Structures are given as structure tokens and as C-alpha cells.
Amino acid sequence: MSEASGLEVIVLAAGRGKRMRSKSPKMVHTLAGRPLLQHVLDAVSALAPERVHVVVGHQAEQVQDVVGAEADVNWVQQGEPQGTGHAVGAALPSLARDATALILLGDVPLVSVPTLQACVAAAGPNSVALVTAELDDPAQLGRIVRNEDGSVAAIVEYADATDAQREQKEINSGIMALPAALLGELLVGVSADNAQGEYYLTDIVTLARARHIDVVAVSAPTQQEVAGVNDRAELAELERHYQQRIAQELMEGGVTLADPSRLDVRGNVSAGEDCFIDVNVVLQGRVVMGDSVTIGPGCVISDSELGSGVYVHPNTVVEGAVVAADCNLGPFARIRPGTQLGEGVKIGNFVETKQARLGAGTKASHLAYLGDAELGEDCNVGAGTVTCNYDGVSKHRTSIGDRVFVGTNSTLVAPIGIGDDAYVGAGSTLTSKVGDGDLAIGRARQRNIHGWVRPDRREAKDD
């Protein structure tokens, strides 16, 4: 069956997650910078389903908020939780009767698209498909019970399992697919006559076999793919697995990592050849790197493009910036959103930029703030320079031409323009336009007072 042919998805996301010990519902906790539920929704979106139904309950508004109003999701309120069967039953009226239903758990974030595709393909017109896995430590997960011929006979929840069944390593992932009409028929026969007094979705397997309906097991390729998150320790374990997988992909693509275990990717990263990333680097959102980019230790790069040959020195933050080839940033620099740097620009230690465009070859080597500013090519910005862009009500821009020298400790009060080849004397406060080639000096006149006595000495003299 094609994954786009009448496929509808039910995601169970109503669990409270008491073991997380959190005021927030489990589904909003993040893995690699994204909520657990979002990982699942991203995976199912690749199947191009006709509709996605998310069953929520505890703190439903928080869960809906993290996904966003723009998400194409049908939210289903479960009400008082009475088990997974009850949750699926809440969504069932929203499904087309001739659809194929794919059921997933919102706290199993690393399930892959190929596994979901295989599960859907195995769900025939009169069969149930489910994803299973062999775990080293199956803990309290439901066990797969097989017949002598190897076919699936039942799923037994841990609380109801015998000692022998608990010894089994094959578990139910909670992911299954079957025709929606068949799902409705089987759910009618599910009862709450069990150790937990809940309506188990897994009971439909036994009911299906009693009707001689095939149950097909699809084996997950890795344990982590079907691992659920029940507490913060399990969340951290999956985080490390995810990061190791991304690190491996980057290295296979030509990136050298100083220590693959000390890189965190929280978004999508693409990199050219011969890039080097040092330890404790965080890459967030969409990050694009050209060839031979070097990122030093302790850097955070978010939603930015770094051209070939860019060198980001230690402890530098780059956010929402476009950085051309051969730029040098940091150490301890902050490149804020809206920054565009031309080729060979140098942003040194303790320099901050925001909504700033710097032309090729321009340098601000240390201790400066360049906000709402446009600088031409081959400028030099001295230490302590500040573009005063905010008057308490509105932001104003500073415009600086090519080959301008701005001396140390200069204050440029926007809105202001400085022409090409101008020179600003150190310690100047400028409030009006500077023409091409002009020398601008805006200092207070120096005054020396002879015979001045320090206040502490005056008090001693009076005593």
C-alpha cells in the first residue's frame, strides 16, 4: 500500500509523564532543541499522510503551543485517561473509514521514516502490522508473544505478563498500522479487565488472531529508534545517541571533530570539505558552512552562513548572520541577527554587531559595539567605539563609507553619516555628518588646573 493512499496518522500524546518530575508535560521536553512530539510529527510528515490526529490530555494547551498554530494537525482531547485503547478510540471518529491508520507514541522521538514506511506497507486490507524490537533491557515494556511457528500471537503488558514472558527480549514499540475500519471493529472488543484497569490498544492483536487476521511484525533496526522517554535520564541517553549519529554523518561528509562526544547539533547543518569543529560547540537552527571553516571551542552558531575559510575563534556567538569567506570572528565576539560581513572582515574580542553590514576588509579588532550600522570596505574601527543607535524611542542608523578610520573610544550618535576616507580622532563624540576625506574631532577642550588639591587631602588639612 502506498504511504500516500488514504493514510491517516494517530499520535498518542496525552500522557502526563510523572517520572519527568516536571511542571510541563512530557511531550514539550526537548531533544536536540526540538520537542519530543515535534520529532514524531516531522517523521510522519515524510509519509505525506492525508491527516494527522494528535490525542492530547494533560496540559493540552502547552502541547499545542510548542507545535504551533500553523501545524496541520487535528487535535483530539482524550478526557480522563483510560489507557492507549481509549486514546485511540477518541481519535477514531475523525478517521475516514477506508483509510489506513498508523498509530505512534509521541514520546518515541527517534523513529525513522523507513521503519514507518515498512510498517504501513505491511498493513494489508485484512492485516495488522506492528513494529517490534529486541532490547538488551526490555524493562517494563510490553512483550511480544509468538506461536511455535514464529507468528505473533499476542502482546502482553508487563503488569500482566508471567515470569517466563518477562524473560522475553522482544518488545512492542507502540507503533502499528491497520485499516481504520478494522481498527474500529477490534476496539469494540477491548476491555479493561487487566492489572491496571485500562483499555490496552495492544489487546487488538489477540482479538485479530482470534479472527484469523494476520499480524505482521516489522523489526526496528536499532534499539534507540523505538526507545521511549519516561524520565530525564532516558531523555539524556537518547540525546547522546542522536548527537553521536549527527557527528558521524558530519565526519563522513568531510568534517573533522576534535571530540564527537562534545558537539551538540540542534537543527540542520551542512558543511563543505575540510572543516574543523573544536569541543563544546553548539550548532542551532540552519547552519551552513563552506570549505575549510574552523570553529573554536565553546562557540554557539545559530541560523547562520559561514563562507569558506572563516575562522571562528573560541567562545564566540554567531546568530542570524551571513559571513563571507575568510572572515575572522572573536574570540569572545557576539555577532547578532542581521549582521552581514564581507570577505576578510575581522571582528575581534568583545566586539558586538547587530543589524550591521561591514564591507570587505573592514576591521573592528576589540571592544566595540556596531548596531544598526553600515560600514564600507577597508575601514578600521578602534577599541571602545560605539554607534549610539537608540534614543530611548527609536533605532537610528550609522552610515560609514570606504577606508574610514575611527579612532579609539569614539561615540557616533545616530543618525549620522561619515564619508569615504574620513578620519575620526580618538575620543570623539560625533553628532553631525562628516564629509569625504574630513578629519572629525569632537572632544571637550582640555583644561589643566594648577594647584588643585585632592578632596581627601583637603579634609586632612581642615582637621
Catalytic residue numbers, as ranges: 366
Q: Is residue 398 packed enough to be buried (19+ CB in 10 Å), middle (13-18) or exposed (0-12)?
A: buried
Identify the bridge partners of residue 257 per DSSP, sorted by sequence position. Answer: 277
What single string gives the DSSP state of each residue in 217-254?
EEE-SSTGGG----SHHHHHHHHHHHHHHHHHHHHHTT
Nearest residue to 284 via CA among 299, 262, 294: 299
Contact 114, 122 (CB under 8 A): no
Distance CA 372, CA 351 (A): 14
User: What is the number of residues in the chain?
Assistant: 463
E-only strand ranges, 290-433:
294-295, 300-306, 311-312, 317-319, 322-323, 328-329, 334-335, 340-341, 346-358, 363-375, 380-381, 386-388, 398-400, 405-406, 411-413, 416-418, 423-424, 429-430
DSSP summary character for residue 390: B
**Which residue type does 439 have?**
L
Distance CA 335, CA 381 (A): 16
DSSP summary character for residue 261: G
Nearest residue to 159 via CA among 135, 178, 140, 187: 140
Which cell goes with 436?
569625504
Three-state SS for 90? Answer: helix
Largest separation between any pair of C-alpha atoms in the chain: 109
Q: Which helix (H) or strand (E) holds 172?
A: strand 170-179
